[in-house]
Amino acid sequence: GESVGLHLPTLSVQEGDNSIINCAYSNSASDYFIWYKQESGKGPQFIIDIRSNMDKRQGQRVTVLLNKTVKHLSLQIAATQPGDSAVYFCADRGTGRRALTFGSGTRLQVQP
Amino acid sequence: ETGVTQTPRHLVMGMTNKKSLKCEQHLGHNAMYWYKQSAKKPLELMFVYSLEERVENNSVPSRFSPECPNSSHLFLHLHTLQPEDSALYLCASSPGQGAYEQYFGPGTRLTVT
């Protein structure tokens, strides 16, 4: 599942710090947003999602923030661990569409 | 990863070969998807099936032929591929056609020589 060769933005953080991964989307009609984590050699794994009628949603150690005014989505990971090292993708679904549109991803590197 | 399985995990094929990728979901979902993930592009949707009916074909070349015999199985038949088709092919499923939360398989790493 690695995106070898794709120039991905990289975020490097120290273990224990909080991480913030950002995503911009273009479709103002999108009504659903989702974050995936993809580790090397694996398929994308669901982390958290949010609908457009919300601006914040929390999970276990993760929080997603949605700012529809500027079409911006962020994923916050609290107390980042080495196991969080992966590529993170955001995706959105336009109203009435059948499938998700994925961003190119951000690589998170956690330094021990 | 046991929810959606894909076989084979790795495949090397020549341009004149014919091969098939298999996906099986054990989640009771009604919709299944094929995506292509290549080194230079974001995840690209190829096909969407809902209740075994193809509902979306995202301008995919005819050398890729999907088949969905039932809601648990999805195939991607490959023939006369090109080297640029080398990529990771991901299968996903979701509870319905609305394409909310999708669950992905581990992918098949395809190399066309």
Q: Which of B31, B40, B90 sits opposite A5 (nearest CB)?
A: B40
Q: Average pLDDT, stretch B79-104? A: 89
Assign B84 to helix, strand or coil: helix
**pLDDT value at residue A9:** 87
B85-96, pLDDT tens digit by residue? 999 999 999 987
Picking from A92, A32, A75, the residue whose alpha carbon sits closest to that of residue B43 is: A92
User: In sequence order, what E strands does B1-113 have?
Assistant: 4-7, 10-13, 18-25, 31-37, 44-50, 53-57, 64-70, 73-79, 87-94, 103-104, 108-112
At B21-76, the pLDDT tens digits run: 999 999 999 999 999 998 777 899 999 998 877 877 778 999 999 999 999 999 99
**Cα distances (Å, whole numbers) of residue B99 to A22, A91, B2, B62:** 22, 11, 20, 24
Chain A positions touching B43 (Cβ under 8 A) are 44, 89, 91, 102
Ranges of chain A with pLDDT below 70:
1-7
pLDDT tens digits for A82-93?
Answer: 999 999 999 998
Question: How far is it, in rounded angstroms, from Cα B92 to Cα B47?
Answer: 10
Task: State the best of A2, A100, A104 to mutate against chain B, taking most chain B CBs within 10 Å.
Answer: A100
A6 touching chain B per CB within 8 A: yes
Residue B1 amino acid letter:
E
Contact A99, B45 (CB under 8 A): yes
- Residue B85, phi then psi, degrees to nearest 5: -85, -5
> So what's the pLDDT on residue A3?
33
Helix (H, G, I), strand (E, B) or coil at B38: coil
CB A48 within 8 A of CB A37: no
